[in-house]
Structure 1
């Protein structure tokens, strides 16, 4: 069964910059299905702020043929050993909305253990260049909603030039996430996400777009001085 992994790691400036032009995970890596190398961003931050593009903070979202292939990569490949020093979470697929190239979405779908189980959401979009200003106008309020939401355990955005943008969020429960999506949460201006989706339906921002939902199965490492973002989840 294929698994997905999401990584956060700090790299020396020159290596992080190099990765923007040539991903350090070779596309022919044994057991790798697809990966995206991206620069981390702070959700909701000003476009011109230093926290908008955190060059040395790298986010990688990958799909592997199985968990053994992933573990072998971490143990035997130089960049895998670098990733092993950062933070990552292993995920199994639950649901997909939209489509994105590269990844192979499994037919088999996982289910949460119970309604109180945490859930992970990943969005990936290939932007239409002329739509970026309109996307930012509608998207930044949504970023702030997710960033400040009481139901999130960890959330961030990421980008890969010239036109790939992504978000990653860990939610305490699936219900809190879906309430946010549909504008039913108790947060101020709760319909920011729902309104942005209506605008996207009216005139799309993207060439490709998907929202993926996952069940987390394990977590490893530290990020921003913290570990065990996901309660009651085994560490690898």
Structure 2
């Protein structure tokens, strides 16, 4: 069964910049279907801020033929062993909206036990350069909503220059996530995400865009001195 994995690891500034220009993950890695190597960002932070693009913090989103392929990669590959020193979560796909080349979504999907089960959401898009200012205008309020929402245990953004952007969030329950998406929440300005999606439908920001929803299988390691971000695992 195909699985996905999402990895966070800290590198030196020099090593991080070097790897941005020489992707350390080979397309020929056994069992790897697709990979996006990105630099982490803080959701909702000012565009011209040291916290916006966190050079030295790496986010890697990967799809594998099976869990054994991931296990072998993290034990046998030099960069895989670097990722093993960080934090990661293993995921099975449940739902998709949109399209994004490289990932292969099969008809074999898993299901959450209930709307009260934890869920992981990943968005990934390739931006239209001329749409970036409008995307920032509508996207930053939605980022702040996700970042500050009491239903999330971990949330961040990431970028692969020049135009690939992504978000990652872990939610305590699927219901809290879907309520946020539709603006049905008690937090301040609850329709920020819904408004951004309406603007995207009016005039798309992206060449390609997808939202993926996952059931978390297992969690490993620590991020920023913390672990156990996923309830019940």
Alignment TM class, shorter chain as reference: over 0.9
Aligned to 2:3: 3
Query: Is residue 129–residue 163 contact of structure 1 (8 Å, CA) maintained in 2?
Result: yes
Q: Compute the displacement of 1:194 (Å).
A: 0.7
Aligned to 2:166: 166
Q: Secondary structure at the match of 1:90?
A: strand
Q: Compute the displacement of 1:176 (Å).
A: 0.5
Note the alpha carbon deviations across 1:24-69, whole angstroms, 9 max, x for none. Answer: 1111101000000000000000001100010100000000000000
The TM-score with structure 1 as length reference comes to: 0.97
What do you get for the CA RMSD once the two structures are aligned?
Answer: 0.7
Instruction: Decide which moves more: 105-114 or 61-70.
Output: 105-114
Aligned to 2:203: 203
CA distance in 2, matches of 1:102, 1:22: 19
Aligned to 1:215: 215
Query: Is residue 19–residue 37 contact of structure 1 (8 Å, CA) maintained in 2?
Result: no
Note the alpha carbon deviations across 1:96-124, whole angstroms, 9 max, x for none. Answer: 00000011012111111233210000000
1:52 matched to 2:52: yes
1:129 matched to 2:113: no
Q: Secondary structure at the match of 2:21?
A: coil
Runs of 4+ in 1 over 6 A off after TM superposition: none
Q: Compute the displacement of 1:15 (Å).
A: 1.6
Instruction: Decide which moves more: 165-174 or 104-113.
Output: 104-113
Note the alpha carbon deviations across 1:172-230, whole angstroms, 9 max, x for none. Answer: 11110001000111111000111111111110000000000000000000001101111
Q: Compute the displacement of 1:127 (Å).
A: 0.1
Runs (5+) with no aligned partner, structure 2: none
Aligned to 2:114: 114
Aligned to 1:70: 70
Query: Is residue 95–residue 212 contact of structure 1 (8 Å, CA) maintained in 2?
Result: yes
Q: Compute the displacement of 1:19 (Å).
A: 1.8
The TM-score with structure 2 as length reference comes to: 0.99
CA distance in 1, matches of 2:52, 2:76: 33
How many residues get paired?
Answer: 233
Aligned to 1:90: 90
Aligned to 1:13: 13
Q: Compute the displacement of 1:12 (Å).
A: 1.4
